[in-house]
Amino acid sequence: MSNKKAVSPHRSKHRSTGTDAEFNYGPWHVEYLLNDGGRLSRIAFNEYDLLTTEPSGFCPPKHKHGKYEDRPVYGYDDCFPSVVACKFPGAEISIPDHGEVCWLAWQLSKEPDSLTFLVRSKLLPAVFKRKMIFTDSSVVWNFEVLNEGNEVLPFQHSMHPLVRVEDLRWIELPEFGSALDWNRNRIVDSMTREKLRNFLLSLPKGSVEMLFLRDIKSGEMGWQYSNGLSVRTKFPVELFPTIGIWWNNGGYPDEEGIRRNECAFEPTAGNTSVLTQAYADGDCLSVGPGGRFAWQVIWEIRTDLKERNDHALTQY
C-alpha cells in the first residue's frame, strides 16, 4: 500500500476548541482532533504520511480486546498515567486502557512554529501538556506534568506513534540488556539489536509481537520508510530506560476486515508499561506536590539512516 498524500498545504483559521483542525509549517502538515483525546490524526513531511491515517471505515471488534479497540486506532496519542489499564497506586482509581488522557477533550494554543496541547485529568489532580516545536527538519516534543495535588504523583508516559509496518525498510535500535517477550511472558535468549531488527522486518503477514527492550544503552533510535525518509528519535534514557515495541503486521485484532498494519517504538519508564508494576519496582516517574516534571523528545528527519548504519557495520 502506498502512503496516502497529505492535502495541499494551506493555512487554516486558528481554533482553540472544536473537533478537528490543521497546521502547516514549512514541509510539515499536521492534523489533530482535540475532542478525540488530542489525537494527531496526521503528521506528514513533504506530503508523505509518517503515521497511519484514519481508516476508510470502522467497526469495533465483536470480541473484547480492551476499550482502546472500541474506536478507530491510528495516528498519534499520548498514554498517561499508564498504558495498560490498572489501579492507580495507593488509590481506588481505575486507569483506563492506554491511560486516561487519550479519552479526554484537550485545549490548544497555537504559534507560527508550534502547537501546545493541554489536558486536565478528571481522575487525578494533574495537568498534562504536549508542545510541538517545528523546524525545517525536526519536531521538538516538550512534555510536562503539573501536579496540583498535595501528594507525590507517580506516573508513566508513552508516546504512541503508529507507523505502517509495510512502509518500513530499516530500523535502528540501541544496544540493550535484555528483551522481554510480553505475549509469551519470557525473556528472549541471545537477542541483539541486529537480530531483533532482522526478526521484525522478516515477520510474515499475520504476526503480532509486543517486546520490551530493557536497560537500553542510549536514548536514540530510528526507523526508515520505503521512500528513503527516516525519523531519528532522541530521548532521555535516564528517564526512559526501556523501549516498548508494538509490531502488528495484519494480525490484530484477529477478526476479518479489521486487522491493522502498524508498529510503534515507545520510550518507557519502567520494565513494562504497567504503572502499578513500575511503581512497585520503583521505576516509574513522579512529581511532587505542586511541582512540575518536564522532559523533551526530538524527532529528526533524515535520509541517510540505513546507509550510515551499513557503513558502521562494515567498519565494525
The pLDDT tens digits of the residues spanning 211-257 come to: 999 999 999 999 999 999 999 999 999 999 999 999 999 998 888 88
Q: What pLDDT does 12 receive? A: 33
Nearest to residue 274, comparing CAs of 185, 184, 155, 162?
155
Tell me the CB-side half-sphere exposure of residue 316, using CA atoms within 13 A. Answer: 7
Domain that holds residue 127: 21-315
Residue 11, domain member (yes or no): no
Number of domains forming the structure of the chain: 1
pLDDT band at 1 (very low <50, low <70, confident <90, very high): very low
Mean pLDDT of 121-141: 98
Of 79-93, 151-165, 253-267, where does mean pLDDT reach its minimum? 253-267
Which of 106-110, 278-282, 305-309 has the lowest average pLDDT?
A: 305-309
The answer to whether 273 and 233 have CB atoms below 8 angstroms apart is: no
| Nearest by Cα to 275 from 73, 36, 91 | 91
Q: What is the DSSP letter of 3?
A: P
187-215 pLDDT, tens digit each: 999 999 999 999 999 999 999 999 999 99
Residue 40 lies in a domain: yes
264 falls within a domain: yes
Classify residue 80: in a domain, yes or no. Answer: yes
Q: Measured in whole angstroms, how far is the alpha carbon of residue 146 from the centre of its chain? A: 21
User: What confidence score (pLDDT) does residue 95 get?
Assistant: 97
Q: Tell me, yes or no, whether 279 lies in a domain.
A: yes
Residue 269: helix, strand or coil by DSSP? coil
Q: What is the mean pLDDT of the chain?
A: 90
Q: Residue 14: pLDDT above 80?
A: no
Q: Using CA atoms, how far apart are residues 236 and 204, in angstroms rounded to an integer?
A: 33
Cα separation, 4 vs 50, in Å, equals 10
For residue 9, being part of any structural domain is answered with: no
Q: How far apart are CA 239 and CA 217, in angstroms?
A: 12
Of 192, 158, 143, the closest CA to residue 268 belongs to 158
Q: The C-alpha cell of 182 is what?
A: 510480553
1 occurs within a structural domain: no
Q: Which helix (H) or strand (E) holds 111?
A: strand 107-111
CB 68 within 8 A of CB 4: no
- The CATH number of residue 35's host domain is 2.70.98.10
What pLDDT does residue 257 have? Answer: 81
Looking at residue 315, what is its pLDDT? Answer: 39
Residue 14 lies in a domain: no
Mean pLDDT of 274-282: 97
Question: CA geometry: angle at 248 spanning 242 and 253, to 5°?
Answer: 120
